[in-house]
Amino acid sequence: RAAEWQLDQPAWSGRLRITAKGSTAFIKLEDKTSGELFAQAPVEQFPGIAVEGVTDSSRYFVIRIEDGNGRRAFIGVGFVDRGDAFDFNVALQDHFKWVRQQSELAQQAQDLEQGPKLDLGFKEGQTIKLNIANMKKKEGGTGSTRPRPAGPGGLSLLPPPPGGKSSSGERPAPLSTPAQLPGTPITDSLLSWPQPTAAPAVDVWGDFAKASG
């Protein structure tokens, strides 16, 4: 019981720090100014005999300190702030939770190494069957489209453009009679000029018909 201790006159006061080395946690009591080690308590299990809570307070504990030469002693420690006592508990719980997880992972890895290995290779004479009916159906479906008519040289011909336009899109201008210039009398010489011959009709498909492919 913490009530039996001389709480108003502690034998020592300072800083408490928790460190870890491997699976062992160390509760270190250090001078709050110089950091000099006053005592330390190695903890290999929590809850356990190395750290125990008192029955009448959540801020006081009994820890087992060691000097490294085999000598041990039990001392009572307490925290002024209840939040610090809570952090003290959580730090020890988190450390040993991590220790258990590492132990479980190591055990799982060992079980996998010792267990039978899965052989996915083909045995001698073993075959595998593949269903490719759907692939044949898709290949046959691509040949059902109607081919376009091919022109000379293997070129596919498009229908002629509306209006009978040439490939350049220009229409030949109609021929007109010579216009009378203002102030110029119409004479036989003007009318006897040779009329321009009509331009030959443009063959729309001439270039395609002559193409050699």
Average pLDDT, the chain: 76
Residue 166 pLDDT more than 70?
no
> Taking the domains of the chain in order of start, what are their residue ranges?
2-113
Distance CA 50, CA 66 (A): 10
CATH code given to domain 2-113: 2.30.29.30
Residue 154 pLDDT more than 60?
no
Residue 183 pLDDT more than 80?
no
Residue 1 pLDDT more than 50?
yes
Distance CA 213, CA 154 (A): 6
What percentage of the chain reaches a pLDDT higher than 70?
A: 60
Hey, what are 137's tokens?
Answer: 């159906």
Across 152-181, average pLDDT? 55
pLDDT of residue 213: 53
Distance CA 85, CA 11 (A): 19
What percentage of the chain reaches a pLDDT higher than 90?
A: 35
Q: H helices of the chain, where?
A: 82-114, 133-141, 188-191, 206-210
pLDDT of residue 189: 46
Q: Determine how β-strand 51-53 pairs with β-strand 37-43.
A: unpaired
Residue 74 pLDDT more than 70?
yes
Strand (E) positions, the chain? 15-21, 24-30, 37-43, 51-53, 60-66, 72-78
Q: How confident is the model at residue 47 (pLDDT cuts 50, 70, 90)?
A: confident
Distance CA 38, CA 15 (A): 10
pLDDT of residue 131: 78
**What would the pLDDT profile of 128-139 be if each residue is shown by its tens digit?**
777 776 665 555
Q: How confident is the model at residue 198 (pLDDT cuts 50, 70, 90)?
A: low
73: helix, strand or coil: strand
CA atoms within 13 A on the CB side of 211: 14
